Amino acid sequence: MSGFDAPGGTSVPGAMRSAYDAHIENLVADAIRSADNSWFREDYTEQATKVMQVLRRKGFHLVPQKLSDRAVEKAVEDMPYGRLNPADYVRQVYKLMIAKSLRY
């Protein structure tokens, strides 16, 4: 099975990508289905809003694939220091990077 390159050059197996894509596609399809209540005058803005609401409710955010230099600088400024459990450190850095990618 073929894979794909995730951000950072990490290769992800094709089967894993397919399951993830199918999950996201189902979320988006359900959101569009709930927003699209007309036969002839589709409201794409309403559909997009519903998609974003569903994704947020499920814990997803759309973020740039590559962080801007400014986002990286701000994240470094706010980086947690001290003794942290490695798992807690990764969680904090991930949360910080998402927040900075949405802001800068």
Average pLDDT value for residue range 2-28: 61
Residues 78 and 96 sit within 8 Å (Cβ to Cβ)? yes
Q: What pLDDT is recorded for position 21?
A: 75
Question: How far apart, in whole angstroms, are the C-alpha atoms of residue 86 and residue 81?
Answer: 12
> To which residue do tokens 């199918």 refer?
22
pLDDT in tens, 40-85: 767 777 778 888 888 888 888 877 778 888 888 888 888 877 777 8
Domain ranges of the chain: 4-57, 69-103
Question: How far apart, in whole angstroms, are the C-alpha atoms of residue 16 and residue 65?
Answer: 19
